[in-house]
Structure 1
Amino acid sequence: MRWGTAAGAVALGLALPAVVPVGPASAETADCGQAFQDGQPVTADQGSPLVEQLGLAQVVEEVGVDGSGVRVAVVDSGVGAGVPVDLVAAQAFGGAAPNDFASPHGSVVAGIIAGAPVGGAAERPVGVAPGAEIISLKVLDVDAQGEQQIAQARQQGQTTLTPQAVAQALDWVAAQVRGGNDIGVVNVSLSVDPGVAGVDVLRPRLEALAALDVLVVAAAPNVPPRGEGEEQGATLGDPPTEDPAEVVAYPAGYSQVLPNVLSVGSMPFVDADPSSGTRPSYFTDVVAPSDGAVTYLPDGSSCALGFASSYSTAVVSGVAALLRQRNPDWTAAEVRTRLVETAGGVTDAPNAYGGAGVVQPYDALTRTLQVDPVTGEVTRSASAPRSTTQAEAPTPQEDLLDDSRQDFLWWGLVAGAGVVLALVLRPATSRLRRR
């Protein structure tokens, strides 16, 4: 969702009412955006396909992590009380109303990160890290598009997104960490364009969080909205309509200069047109799936999503929580590097649509990497495993002198026996001579 101003735009990943319809979901699994728009509670009768797509069953079985003990701050539109997550704190900033959930975006994001299984059944999991604790940091009331809608919302006493409100939320996180309240991950499924007034307040806050070892996972830009009748944009493989080197939004864009910031783009469903949710940018670090993901609305009803960078960002925040549980000694820079270096792509040649590739939770958790804890630079990576063979005793070489040695041995024994016999008989022979 984007809000235009004279100087630029502030954006959430995607407007929920405009969510791409889900393909393989069952009849009882409603589209999140439509369900919220209709005001009707729905029930998803299936777990999230993210579990299979990300190999999370293997993570649980072999690594044994679910995010327990890790706190994830969700900087968004607030998390409704009905969302089945472990909500440990909630704050509002920039004048946002604490209990206004006109925008379900924050609830949806929290559900992706740590939502409990549908219906409480463990075999129908939802959240990537269901054991993680959620902190709701509300920075807006409504999703408004364009200056007219922003003005109208403000006339009604509702807040819209500003970089200043995001900065206040990040300040709160820093203060909590300094006070001993450990927050391992901050999810920012929204973005601010470079031209927006006040966008420069974000960098010093992110630098402060870097010094406090807090990982910030932020959404890369989505495809900008088009006018009626306009095409959505280029498809994967086609030349982009804008220079990917210039497509940047913040705080995600700071991933190029700060070791604790990770920029995440959307990965569309197989065979889907990426142009409806993926905006090519060289500022994207990694991508993750979200299409068809089951999550929750503010009232606790479950529904399914399309693909957008804000949802993919939530997925990666969940994976980051798994890593921070797996090894609490890994710094934010190390966690970020692990997610990038183990992604399913070519890390030395990232592309504008996928960055380094698709996040691979199991590899990120288990691969042997030595990473500089401050800079995040890889100092050593495990090579491909070598085949090993059982050690064996050496084969004895043929003894070419064996026959001669045996002959020498026998003749030596005969000669030795003769010498001994001569010594024994010597006294008797001497007496015979004297006679």
Structure 2
Amino acid sequence: MRAQRHLTAAAAVLLALGTGAGSAVVGVVTAPPAYAAERSVPCRSVATVDDAGVKSVDLSYPDPYDEMRIADAQRAVGRTPGSGVTVAVLDSGIWPGVAAHVLRPSFKPSQTPGKYYHGTTVAGLIAGKATGGAPGGIAPGATLIDLPVSTAPQTGDEEPAVSRPSVEAALHYLNATRSKYSHLVVNLSVEFDTGSPVLRREIRRLVRSGAIVVAAAGNRTESEETTSPTPSAGPADARDQVFPAAYPGVVAVGATLTEGMSGDVSQYVVPNSATDVAAPPVGAHSYTLTGRPCIVDEPTTSWSTAEVSGVLALLASAYPKASAGEIVDRLLRTASGREDVPGRYTGAGVVQAYDAVTRPLDDGRTAAPAPVARANLGRPERDVLRGTRHAALWWGLVGGGALVLGLVLRPLLSRRRR
């Protein structure tokens, strides 16, 4: 099972960049984000409750939210971004106080909630509070539903397991309580090698109910990672190998490198022709397990999925009367690429949040509305004399005009002859 992968090799390279080491894959611009503290920590630094001994490092990455114009989109919304929208976070749990509105239902997964940073970082990207001069999440007004679906890791370096039955149980809970939420976004920053009839059924029910389901398009395993720009292992197309992203109606999210970086994201993300859209996560601000501010330093689809869920929540709050399909349509049609020529890593392109909020629906890129169906009144009988009558009318007009002209001119011509 490939769930919530760390990409250890990638993180090591990126961390080296933050401390001034040479770059083999990714280059970083010198200017840090305007909000970045001089000293910070990568979000993965605190994987357990005890953060003693964690050393701060300089993480001066470019700001991926500038590339997606998140701040402009938030201002354009004209209300608290994300308000009126609920985002379900199926992950390792959310640390208290990270977001302003968090629901912790009585739902109990089949596994013990894990004490791991992943779910807290996901929640911070979606709807985290602003703190210490740093911006909050993309949709800070959204209400989060905390649905832990992972086990506790045995050591600080071990990732928790995420079982498909736990995810299925959480999705079933959401279907059972669906009527409580007007706009519902379901964030699945997880992936499985295989699907199941139950997983398909629960996701189909959510999509049909008007919920938006967002899932990771897939990361490479550590054994597939390579320092070569062209991966020597892994699938040519993981379309049918990453679930639940492979299911119809799911928004499958890929990851990209933030502008200002060099390298090839294909070293970390699997090619997947089911990818709908992508987002750059490296440099985004979030929180560690214990609620400490941190910077994302891994180009994984888990973080990109959280970013896209945040943008969808922002759009739903901007257009509260829009359907789920209309909201997703805005996201895809305003991305940086072409929806009709999707890429295996980026789909329709990188999310452009400001354009998604502000671009008119009739800008030429949106499909024309379907014609209004007319009542069937029966097929009219054919008029076989229509052409004959039309010709007779014109000849009558011409002939009548000539006759009138002749009558007017006849007296004049008679006097002239005399």
Is 1:61 aligned to residue 54 of structure 2? no
Cα distance, 1:317 vs. partner? 0.3
Q: Render the CA deviation track for 1:267-298: whole Å, top value 9, x for unaligned.
A: 11321331342211101111001101111122
Q: TM-score, normalised by structure 2?
A: 0.72
Rate the CA distance shift 1:274–1:81 in 2: closer, same or farther, 3 A: same
**1:352-406 Cα shifts (integer Å, max 9, x gaps):** 12111001111112223379xxxxx94359xxxxxxxxxxxxxxxxxxxxxxxxx
Query: Which of 1 and 2 has greater Rg?
Result: 1
The offset of 1:322, in angstroms, is 0.8
Q: CA deviation at 1:242?
A: 2.9
State the percentage of identical aligned residues: 34
Counterpart CA distance in 1 for 2:61 and 2:223 is 33
Residue 347 of structure 2 corresponds to residue 336 of structure 1: no
1:33 deviation in Å? 1.5
| Contact 2:7–2:221 (8 Å) recurs in 1 | no
The residue that corresponds to 1:192 in the other structure is 192
Aligned residue among 94, 105, 128 for 2:109: 94
Query: For residues 61-101 of structure 1, what are the alpha-carbon distances to aligned partners after superposition, in whole Å with 9 as ceiling and x for unaligned?
Result: 33324111211100111111142442122455433334x41
Unaligned runs of 5+ in 1: 1-8, 151-158, 372-376, 382-435
Displacement of 1:48 in angstroms is 9.0
Question: What's the counterpart of residue 119 of structure 2?
Answer: 106
Aligned-residue offset at 1:233? 5.6
Deviation per CA, 1:145-193: give whole Å up to 9, x if none.
9xxx89xxxxxxxx83111111110111111113x34352010000111
Work out whether 1:362 is the aligned partner of 2:354: yes
- The aligned counterpart of 1:287 is 278
Give yes or no for contact 1:199–1:250 (8 Å, CA) kept in 2. no
Decide which moves more: 164-173 or 38-47. Answer: 38-47
Matched residue, 2:51: 39
Residue in 2 that maps onto 1:422: none
Which letter does structure 2 place at the counterpart of 1:348? D
What is the alpha-carbon distance in structure 2 between the residues aligned to residue 290 and residue 143 of structure 1? 24
Partner of 2:242: 249
CA contact (8 A) 2:192 2:243 kept: yes
The answer to whether the Cα contact below 8 Å between 1:84 and 1:300 also exists between their aligned partners in 2 is no
Structure 2 residues not aligned, in runs of 5+:
19-27, 371-418
Equivalent residue runs for 1:24-423 within 5 Å = 24=32, 27-36=38-47, 39-40=51-52, 49-65=63-79, 66-90=81-105, 93-98=108-113, 100-101=114-115, 103-119=116-132, 121=133, 124-142=134-152, 160-178=161-179, 180-194=180-194, 199-226=196-223, 231-232=226-227, 234-235=229-230, 242-244=235-237, 246=239, 248-254=241-247, 257-258=248-249, 261-269=250-258, 270-306=261-297, 307-369=299-361, 378-380=367-369
Q: Check 1:60–1:201 CA distance in 2 against 1; reply closer, same or farther (3 A cut).
A: same
Residues 370, 380 of structure 1: 8 Å contact kept: no
Report the structure, 1 or 2, having the larger strand content.
1
In the comparison of the two structures, how many residue pairs are matched?
Answer: 340
Partner of 2:104, secondary structure, is strand
Q: For residue 30 of structure 1, report the CA deviation from its aligned partner.
A: 1.0
Q: Which amino acid aligns with 1:31?
A: P
Deviation at 1:222, TM superposition (A): 0.6
The answer to whether the 8 A contact 1:92-1:138 is kept is: no
RMSD between superposed Cα atoms in Å: 3.3
Q: Distance in 2 between matches of 1:277 and 1:142?
A: 25
How many angstroms does 1:335 deviate by? 1.6
Alpha-carbon distance, 1:204 to partner: 0.6
Moved segments of 4+, more than 6 Å: 41-48
Range that drifts further, 215-224 or 270-279: 270-279
